[in-house]
């Protein structure tokens, strides 16, 4: 939108170049459709581009697949958020975590070593419970 503003043509050209780089091997390349909403310019072309994209997504069940991938990502985010909350409710005041923080701070171990130790402890506790 706002194709009537100065340098809009340069912005469109830069977006086109970016799409050339990022969509090189993609099966779909978005169209750049300059519009001026206040004057209704480019709206028909934008609608046609959106309709063309919907047609593309409808083929080979791409739209459903895309939606399912997005839902899967949202579920993953929610699970990770819950696990993070559960983790900190259990481990926030754990003495070993404080010790690991001190060891990382004093450069006796790195962050990955601290992570590995905590994960190892979690797995040991899970094994004991099962």
More confident residue, 63 or 79: 79
Q: Sign of the C-alpha dihedral, residues 113, 116, 120, 126?
A: positive
Structure tokens at 70: 């997005």
Give bridge partners of residue 36 from the DSSP assignment.
41
Span 79-113, pLDDT tens digits:
999 999 999 998 899 999 999 999 999 999 999 99
d(CA 33, CA 51): 13
Measure Cα distances from 116 to 92, 109, 112, 123 in Å. Answer: 16, 11, 6, 10
Q: Exposed, middle or buried, 124 (CB in 10 Å: 0-12/13-18/19+)?
A: exposed
Structure tokens at 28: 């779909």
d(CA 58, CA 106): 56
Q: Check if the beta carbon of residue 46 is closer than 8 Å to that of residue 33.
A: yes
Banded pLDDT at 77 (limits 50, 70, 90): very high
Mean pLDDT to the nearest integer, 51-63: 90
């Amino acid at each position: 939108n706002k194709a009537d503003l100065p340098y809009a043509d340069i912005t469109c050209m830069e977006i086109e170049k970016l799409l050339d780089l990022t969509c090189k091997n993609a099966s779909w390349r978005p169209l750049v459709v300059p519009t001026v909403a206040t004057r209704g310019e480019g709206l028909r072309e934008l609608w046609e581009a959106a309709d063309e994209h919907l047609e593309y997504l409808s083929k080979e069940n791409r739209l459903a697949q895309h939606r399912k991938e997005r839902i899967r990502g949202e579920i993953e985010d929610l699970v990770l958020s819950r696990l993070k909350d559960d983790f900190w409710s259990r481990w926030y005041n754990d003495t070993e975590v404080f010790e690991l923080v001190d060891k990382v701070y004093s450069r006796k171990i790195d962050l990955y070593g601290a992570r590995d130790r905590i994960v190892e402890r979690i797995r040991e506790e899970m094994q004991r419970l099962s």
